[in-house]
Amino acid sequence: MVWLELLSDYTFQNVVIGASLLGLISGPLGCFAVLRRQSLLGDAISHAALPGICLSFIITGSRDIGGIIIGSLITGSAAALIMLMLTRLSRLKTDAALGACLSIFFAVGIVLLTYIQSTNNASQGGLEAFLFGQAAATLRSDLWVMGSITLVTLLLLAVFWKQAKLVTFDAEYARTLGMPITVIEASLTAMVALAVVVGLQMVGVILMAAMIVAPAAAARQWSRHLGGMLTIAAGVGIVSGVSGATISTLSRGLATGPLIVLTATVIVLISLALAPGRGLLWGVIKHYRQKSALQKQQLLYALYKHTADPSCTPSTLGSRRMLNKLKQQGYLTRSPRGDDGWGLTAQGQEEARRVVAAFEELAS
Amino acid sequence: MMAELLTTTALPIMLVGAMVGIASSAVGTFLVLRGNSMLSDAISHSIVFGIVIVWLLTKQQSGPVQLIGAALTGLLTVLLTEALASTKRVKQDTAIGLVFPALFSIGVLLLNIYANDVHIDTHTVLLGEIGFVWLDTLDIFGLPIPQALVSMSVMTVLNYAFIGLFYKELKLATFDPALAKTFGFMPSILFYVLLMLTSSTAVAAFDAVGAVLFIAFAIVPASAAYLLTDRLLMMFIIGALISIASSISGYYLAVYLNVSIGGMMAVMTGIFLMLAFLAGPRYGVITQLVKRQRARQAPVEPPPSV
């Protein structure tokens, strides 16, 4: 009943659709950013959106979403360009240039924000909400704008799929083919700015970085192909958006943005642990399997080869758990050999002979 | 005279601003040189998590416990990042981008839950209120000294004491980690201590300038200094001078325009970076252009006759 009520709730519908759109656009574009080793560029661009938002407010005098989008696109792209300029024309490294652009643009944003507050404009309320997002205030009209941006961005990506792919994985080869790689790189960066714009309302400028990085990082674990990775990233983005929004609505009062980000983080952790082939858990399990197989072989070898050696009794060679396990498998038995109540069964003798033969073949 | 100056609001604010800059650019210099600048971004965001946790455990919002808590949070951020990166499943920058938003989110949610009890709001977290530092004072030698000034001075002394004590080791560890390791200087431990100092500085600067502007004070003066000199010692001096200049000019501009003082100080550091970038005497863009122009116009010397 709660669910039915929730689904027919107007605000909830808006938030869920908005969060899904955010996941749909930030996932795929994040993949390119992560693969091009520009994970933190999204962070810089989203912080740099703040002065754009404020500027558009100063110029238009309203919180009109169109103006805010254009403003944040301009300052976001400007920050990315200045970042590139700093690294190309001076000896600053990427990290310093990123940090400088991020913090200075944000500082300009703060200055403009306080300027707007000091001019005491009545309709300025809610500008600060863009810092952390204000999912509950999403309007239907905002959704149409966010939806169109998402659609256009994904279409552009589809049209320039081959070029984007080649520039991402082998920019030098793309250059020799005569592709305008600077243009393509710049557009991929500008598209990250578009994703940031969509996320402003939902998660705010501070946490947008995670929405670029997390779905892509999770998707990378599940797929070795760019297309698959993009699809999964979009899925992860949508799932974390929707679940974050739902938890936030059900808990009443917990901020939506952080919840979306935390959901995405949990999905990343699960992917790191469980993804087929790359998952860390499989590695750990494999390690222990090999270790116990080796112990078993050592034990059988010693029992078979050194029957006369009094120090080579089963209980000195293996742990109690190991012995019990071998007993269960039918290799050991508690009775026949008298020394400490453990001995090889017929099947154990057979297996031990095989191990010894295999080992000796290896040794020779 | 001294007491009079401190009771007016302008001087304490500028002093705190300058101290934030001097303390942060000291550690920032090494971050910039090592190519780890974005760790200051990660640390400054995730100490929000640390501040809330320490507050929940001890109910203390500032003071030495918070500084230690921040140091541990910074360490936690870096260790988590390195643990993620060491799985080889994600790259270093991706790992940074995963860790700090997660910690920041947990911090914000905890603030959300305990909003009624805790006196930190998300606004202060991001922006700080350097304009109000003179409200919170300690009496030292009969003078009302702003608490922020005391904590920033402590951090400045701590940072420079560490750098002074291990100057040779830090220098070698920064420019040639492999050689430092063979000498037994343990470059990674030095680096961890440096990052712990960075986070403590961040939390001390927190009330004054907030999480995001701290990045500007840590990275930007050091970056500008990097464009102006080739000597490590000069980088500290230039970084400190830029911090002082930004603090003073930022304060007066902010008062004149009636805007955020901390924000304006950070913007001023950016202006100095741009100046260094464009007009630096050796590496500046304009200087390079002029040099190239001159080289082109210079008459080609005839080869010496045999």
- Phi, psi (deg, nearest 5) at residue A344: -75, 140
**Cα–Cα dist B52/B47, whole Å:** 8
**Domains and their CATH numbers in chain B:** 2-297 (1.10.3470.10)
Indicate the range of A289-293, B101-105, B265-269 predicted with least confidence: A289-293
The number of beta carbons lying within 10 Å of the beta carbon of residue A39 is 27
Biggest CA pair distance of chain B: 90
Largest CA distance in chain A: 96
**Does residue A277 contact residue A285 with C-beta atoms inside 8 Å?**
no
Contacts 24+ apart (CB under 8 A), A163-171: A164/A32, A164/A188, A165/A226, A168/A32, A168/A35, A168/A36, A168/A226, A169/A35
Structure tokens at B246: 């930004």
Give the distance, in angstroms, between the CA of residue A16 and the centroid of all CA atoms in the same chain: 20
Position B181 pLDDT exceeds 60: yes
Contacts of B94 in chain A (CB under 8 A): 34, 39, 213, 216-217
Q: Residue A265: its pLDDT value, please? A: 93
C-alpha–C-alpha distance, residues A139 and A18, integer Å: 9
Contacts of B86 (CB under 8 A, 6+ apart): none
B152, B208 contact by CB (below 8 A): yes
pLDDT score recorded for residue A186: 83
Q: What percent of chain A has pLDDT over 70?
A: 90
Tokens of B300: 């080609």
CA distance A233 to A218: 7
Cβ atoms of A6 and A209 within 8 Å: the answer is no
Nearest CB to B260; choose among A37, A98, A111: A111
Average pLDDT over every residue of A260-286: 88
B76 in Cβ contact with B200 (< 8 Å): no
In tens, the pLDDT along B203-260 reads: 888 777 777 788 899 999 999 999 999 899 999 999 999 999 999 999 999 889 888 8
Residue at A258: amino acid letter:
P
Q: Which residue did the predictor score with more confidence, A221 or A346?
A: A221
Residue A29: predicted pLDDT: 92
Question: CB–CB of B172/B183 below 8 Å?
Answer: yes
Tell me the per-residue pLDDT of B110-137, one tens digit each, with 9 for 90 and over: 887 876 655 556 566 666 667 666 667 6
Neighboring chain A residues of B36 at a CB cutoff of 8 Å: 95
Q: Which residues of A273-305 are buried (b: 16+ CB within 10 A; e: fewer)?
A: bebeebbbeeeeeeeeeeeeeebbbebbbbbbe
Average pLDDT across chain B, whole number: 84
Instruction: Measure the CA–CA gap between A336 and A330, rounded to whole angstroms.
Output: 14
Ranges of each domain in chain A: 2-275, 281-363
Q: Please count the CA atoms within 13 angstroms of the CA of A9 that sit on its side-chain side.
A: 16
Compute and round to an integer the Cα radius of gyration of chain B.
22
CA angle A196, A197, A201 (to 5 degrees): 100
Cα separation of B89 and B161, whole Å? 39
Where does the pLDDT of residue B1 fall: very low under 50, low under 70, confident under 90, or very high at 90 and above? very low
Give burial (CB, 10 Å; 0-12/13-18/19+) of A10.
exposed
Residue B281 pLDDT > 90: no
Record: contact B98-A118, CB cut-off 8 A: no
- What mean pLDDT comes out for the span A162-180? 87
Contact A42, A174 (CB under 8 A): no
How large is the ipTM? 0.88
Are the C-beta atoms of A80 and A196 separated by less than 8 Å? no
CATH T-level assignment (fold) for domain A2-275: ABC transporter involved in vitamin B12 uptake, BtuC (1.10.3470)
> Is B285 in the A-facing interface, judged by CB distances under 8 Å?
yes
Q: Does pLDDT of A303 surpass 80?
A: no
Q: Is the pLDDT of residue A328 over 80?
A: no
Cβ–Cβ of A111/B32 closer than 8 Å?
no
Q: What is the CATH code of the structural domain delimited by A281-363?
A: 1.10.10.10
Pick from B94, B101, B260: CB nearest A114 = B260
- Asked if the Cβ–Cβ distance from B123 to A86 is below 8 Å, we say no
Question: Which amino acid, one-letter code, is at A105?
Answer: F
Angle at A307 between CA A302 and CA A313, to 5 degrees: 65
B89 touches chain A (CB under 8 A): yes
Best of A114, A223, A243, A262 to mutate (most B CBs within 10 Å, chain B): A114
Ranges A102-106, A300-304, A313-317, most confident: A102-106
- Which residues of chain A are within 8 Å of residue B106 when distances are taken between CB atoms? 258, 262
How many other CB atoms are there within 10 angstroms of residue A218's CB atom? 31
Instruction: Determine, for residues A210 and B97 on separate chains, whether the beta-carbon distance falls below 8 Å.
Output: yes
How does pLDDT run across A197-215, given as a tens digit for each residue? 888 878 887 788 889 999 9
